């Protein structure tokens, strides 16, 4: 990615962070590292939470977005409750995840396939349906992994813990109208 492109991504990202409640606090980061020290996943992340803000300031967010970092966030909100500058860092992570999938900065990996499959299943039925979700997920990632999970699946089926057939909500048509209304609203925004 050339510098102009990566600067554009940084700007677009910042604009979307400013739309979340208290998002503007991101400007007040003092680089103390409390977030990284609190993060249960930071050991596995190529860039920890503090480094994400540092990369943003350096105009190099694309480095973060093409690494394994953002999808290792498990939404535990530890960083958010501890940040001395009151930055809603978990929401910042959601923005990063979204921009990464929308911009297709890197190819789909396990977590993005999972999140997209989840959205597809919920959009179709109004609720999650675990069997269909896992089928979609393993089919698109690593069917072999799916096979590894069969013993666990059988233990669940034996205990009646799997619904084999999905159930739609009654208000699905109205829900779809709501969804397209919010999508359109979003497009109309500058």
Contact footprint for another protein (CB under 8 A): 20-22, 40-41, 44, 68, 71-72, 74-78, 80-81, 88, 90, 93-94, 97-98, 101, 109-111, 114-116, 118-119, 122, 126-131, 137, 152, 155-156, 159-163, 167, 169-171, 174-183, 185-186
7-45 burial code (b ≥16 CB/10 A, e <16): eebbeebbebbeeeeebebbeebeeeebbbebbebbeeb
Cβ at position 11, least distance to another protein in Å: 19
Is residue 68 within 8 A of residue 84, CB to CB? The reply is: no
How large is the angle between the packed helices 89-103 and 49-57, nearest 10 degrees? 60
> Based on the number of CB atoms within 10 Å of its own CB, is 150 exposed (0-12), middle (13-18) or buried (19 or more)?
exposed
Which residue among 29, 60, 65, 114 contacts ligand SF4 (CB under 6 A)? Answer: 29
Is residue 65 within 8 A of residue 101, CB to CB? The reply is: no
Which residue among 6, 13, 50, 141 contacts ligand SF4 (CB under 6 A)? Answer: 50
Nearer to another protein, 1 or 72 (CB): 72
Find how far residue 70's CA is from the centre of its chain.
Answer: 7
Cβ at position 115, least distance to another protein in Å: 5
Binding mask 58-87 for ligand SF4 (x = CB under 6 A): ---------------xxxxxxx---xxx-x
Cβ at position 153, least distance to ligand SF4 in Å: 27
Phi, psi torsion values for 163, nearest 5 degrees: -95, 115
Nearer to ligand SF4, 38 or 101 (CB): 38
Contact residues toward ligand SF4 (CB under 6 A) are 29-35, 38-41, 49-50, 53, 73-79, 83-85, 87, 89-90, 93
């Amino acid at each position: 990615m050339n510098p102009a492109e990566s600067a554009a991504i940084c700007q677009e990202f910042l604009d979307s962070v400013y739309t979340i409640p208290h998002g503007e606090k991101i400007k007040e980061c003092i680089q103390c590292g409390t977030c990284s020290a609190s993060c249960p996943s930071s050991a596995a992340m190529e860039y920890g939470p503090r480094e994400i803000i540092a990369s943003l300031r350096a105009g190099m967010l694309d480095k973060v977005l093409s690494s394994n970092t953002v999808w290792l966030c498990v939404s535990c909100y530890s960083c958010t409750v501890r940040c001395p500058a009151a930055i809603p860092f978990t929401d910042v992570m959601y923005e990063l995840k979204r921009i990464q999938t929308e911009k297709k900065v890197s190819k789909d990996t396990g977590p993005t396939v999972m999140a997209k499959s989840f959205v597809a299943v919920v959009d179709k039925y109004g609720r999650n349906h675990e069997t269909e979700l896992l089928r979609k997920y393993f089919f698109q990632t690593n069917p072999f992994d799916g096979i590894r999970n069969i013993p666990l699946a059988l233990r669940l089926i034996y205990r009646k813990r799997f619904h084999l057939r999905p159930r739609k909500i009654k208000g699905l048509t109205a829900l779809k109208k709501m969804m397209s209304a919010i999508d359109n609203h979003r497009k109309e925004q500058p």
